[in-house]
Amino acid sequence: MALPSGLEIPKEALDAEIKSFFESAPSLKNSDDVGQKFEEFVKKNSLLSGNGRARRVVCVTSGGTTVPLEQRCVRYIDNFSSGHRGAASTEYFLKAGYAVIFLYRRRTCQPYCRSLPDDPLLECLEIVGDSNTQVHQFHSQAVRTAITKTHAVVAEGLLLKLPFTTIFEYLQMLQMVAFTMRNIGPHAMFYLAAAVSDFYVPWTSMVEHKIQSGSGPLDMRLVQVPKMLLVLRKDWAPLSFCISFKLETNSKILLEKADMALSKYKMHMVVANELLSQKEEVVVVTSKEKILVRRNKSLGVDDVESTLIELIVERHSVYVESFDL
């Protein structure tokens, strides 16, 4: 039975839903390998560095999850997310000295690649002579920045990029990261900018083969994806600093929904954004205040993420220091 909105599902029922979600999900490919990468990355970055402090680690989620409609998937439900927010935020977290686990939807926007054209291979390269290719002069700075900056942070062990496509892959990876990040307590942060599907077809009730057309309308039952944010906060990584995002198309309900997410899922911050203005402004909602963050071209920065990450890093520092007392 669906509960009227606003009513909380009891924790035991939620735990049972989550258990059943993970038990019935198709298992993650290379999960041992992925788990090992997370562990090595977090361990290495949590060791004391030259300044006597452990590096903070943030898991940035980015892009949208898909909902497969068939086990041998031909069709799926998707959403609009381009991964721009996650990619830009990753750059600013790295600049602020964080190590970043970038959990991103395959083929979405990547850190340091935001200035590249849509089809970089065809638009940036040109053929010279019989056997050489070179970067077109017009794009050479963007290509150089993308390659040198990405290679530098990956080589230094500061950026770990792992892709997902489906809701099943995403949630399994998020849980794995959280179990690893719990070892560094308040030094861990989750910045959950991915647009995660709210409804899905459970693997066990999904048809195996391609859905056939020709027999009239398609009736399909989607069930609600169990809300994992509360268990992330309470059970998976209880000391981590957690920021979730709330997107709405109706500005009238945006802040109310963000407030609800803050108290229901015990987030430290909720970043509220409206579809039409999300590149221009966001509102950071905490238990004490609502802070409007706007893109400020006059400061020479062309995105909202610069100021947003500055604010978040400052609040995370206060949070970490409250544990040192």
The CA-atom distances, in angstroms, between 132 and each of 46, 121, 123, 128, 148 are: 44, 14, 16, 5, 21
Q: Which of 245, 284, 305, 306 binds ligand PAZ (CB under 6 A)?
A: 245
What's the CA gap between 324 and 133, in Å, rounded? 55
Number of residues that bind ligand PAZ (CB under 6 A): 13
Residue 270 vs 320, nearer CB to ligand PAZ: 270
Residue 46 vs 273, nearer CB to ligand PAZ: 273
Pick the closest to residue 163 from 236, 118, 72, 101 (CA basis): 101
Q: Which of 145, 150, 183, 278 binds ligand PAZ (CB under 6 A)?
A: 278
Q: Does 84 bind ligand PAZ (CB under 6 A)?
A: yes
Q: CB of 210: closest distance to ligand PAZ in angstroms?
A: 29
Q: Does 68 bind ligand PAZ (CB under 6 A)?
A: no
Q: CB of 81: closest distance to ligand PAZ in angstroms?
A: 4
Is the distance from CB of 230 to CB of 264 less than 8 angstroms?
Answer: yes
Task: Report CA torsion sign: 219, 221, 222, 224.
Answer: positive
Q: How many CA atoms lie within 13 A of 193 on its CB side?
A: 31
Q: Quick one: tokens of 31?
A: 């999960």
Q: Does 233 bind ligand PAZ (CB under 6 A)?
A: no
Q: Does 195 bind ligand PAZ (CB under 6 A)?
A: yes
Q: Which of 82, 145, 150, 183 binds ligand PAZ (CB under 6 A)?
A: 82
Q: Does 105 bind ligand PAZ (CB under 6 A)?
A: no
Q: CB of 284: closest distance to ligand PAZ in angstroms?
A: 12
Q: CB of 31: closest distance to ligand PAZ in angstroms?
A: 25
Pick the closest to residue 198 from 219, 172, 229 (CA basis): 229
* Binding window for ligand PAZ (CB under 6 A); candidates: 12-20, 111-119, 188-196, 229-237: 188-196
Pick the closest to residue 87 from 77, 100, 69 (CA basis): 100
Angle, helices 11-24/167-181, rounded to nearest 10 degrees: 120
Q: Does 83 bind ligand PAZ (CB under 6 A)?
A: yes
* Binding window for ligand PAZ (CB under 6 A); candidates: 82-90, 169-177, 213-221, 235-243: 82-90
Q: Does 85 bind ligand PAZ (CB under 6 A)?
A: yes
Q: Residue type at 126?
A: E
DSSP type of residue 265: T
* Binding window for ligand PAZ (CB under 6 A); candidates: 31-39, 78-86, 165-173, 298-306: 78-86
Is the distance from CB of 13 to CB of 126 less than 8 angstroms?
Answer: no
Q: What are phi and psi of 211, to 5 degrees?
A: -65, 130
Specify the 3-state DSSP secondary structure of 15: helix
Q: Does 101 bind ligand PAZ (CB under 6 A)?
A: no
Per-residue x/- marks for ligand PAZ, 254-273, CB under 6 A?
Answer: -------------------x
* Binding window for ligand PAZ (CB under 6 A); candidates: 50-58, 79-87, 180-188, 312-320: 79-87
What's the CA gap between 160 and 162, in Å, rounded? 7
Specify the 3-state DSSP secondary structure of 166: strand
Cα radius of gyration rounded to whole Å, the chain: 21
Per-residue x/- marks for ligand PAZ, 15-54, CB under 6 A?
Answer: ----------------------------------------
Interface contacts to ligand PAZ, rule CB under 6 A: 81-85, 193, 195-196, 245-247, 273, 278
